[in-house]
Chains A and B, each alone.
Chain A
Amino acid sequence: MPPNFANTIRRIVSSSLLIAAGLISSQVAAQSPLFQPLFEVLTHPRCLNCHTKTDFPRQGDERRRHAQLVVRGEDNHGAPTLQCSACHQDENVADGAVPGAPHWALAPLSMAWEELSPSELCAVLKDTSKNGNRNLEALFKHMSEDELVLWGWTPGGDRTTPPLSQPAFVEALRAWVDAGGPC
Chain B
Amino acid sequence: MFTIRVNGVEHTVDASEDKPLLWVLRENLKLTGTKYGCGQALCGSCTVHVDGQPTRSCVMPISAVGNKQIRTIEDINTEHIGSLVQQTWQTLNVPQCGYCQSGQIMAATALLKNNASPSDQDIDKAMSGNICRCGTYPRIRKAIHKIAAEQL
Contacts and interface: CB of A to CB of B under 8 A. Distances in A.
B39 A94 contact: yes
Contacts of A68: 42, 128-129
B18 to A, nearest CB: 8
A87 interface: yes
A106 B31 CA distance: 34
Interface in A63-86: 67-71, 79-83, 85-86
Contact of A81 (B42, B59, B64, B111): B111
B58 A82 contact: no
B118 to A, nearest CB: 10
A97 interface: yes
A86 B39 contact: no
A26 interface: no
B124 interface: yes
Interface string B59-78: 11100100000000000000
A93 interface: yes
A137 interface: no
A83 B53 contact: yes
Contacts of B41: 86-87, 94, 97-98
B110 interface: yes
A117 interface: no
Chain A contact residues: over half helix, strand or loop, or mixed?
loop
Contacts of A67: 42
Contacts of B58: 94
B55 interface: yes
Interface string A1-22: 0000000000000000000000
Interface in B22-37: none
A173 B115 CA distance: 45
Contacts of B61: 89, 93
Contact of B40 (A69, A71, A94): A94
A87 B54 contact: no
Interface residues of B, number: 29
Nearest to B125: A79
Interface residues of A, number: 19
Nearest to B55: A86
A82 B125 CA distance: 7
A102 to B, nearest CB: 11
A86 B54 contact: yes
B114 interface: yes
- Nearest first, the 7 closest Cβ-Cβ pairs linking A and B are A87-B41, A79-B125, A69-B128, A81-B110, A68-B129, A97-B40, A93-B59
25 contacts: A67-B42, A69-B124, A70-B128, A70-B129, A71-B125, A80-B114, A80-B126, A81-B110, A81-B111, A81-B113, A81-B114, A82-B107, A83-B53, A85-B53, A86-B41, A86-B54, A86-B56, A87-B129, A89-B60, A89-B61, A90-B64, A94-B39, A97-B40, A98-B41, A98-B59
Given A85-B53, A94-B40, 12 more contacts: A68-B42, A68-B129, A70-B129, A81-B53, A81-B113, A81-B115, A82-B126, A86-B53, A86-B54, A86-B55, A97-B40, A97-B41
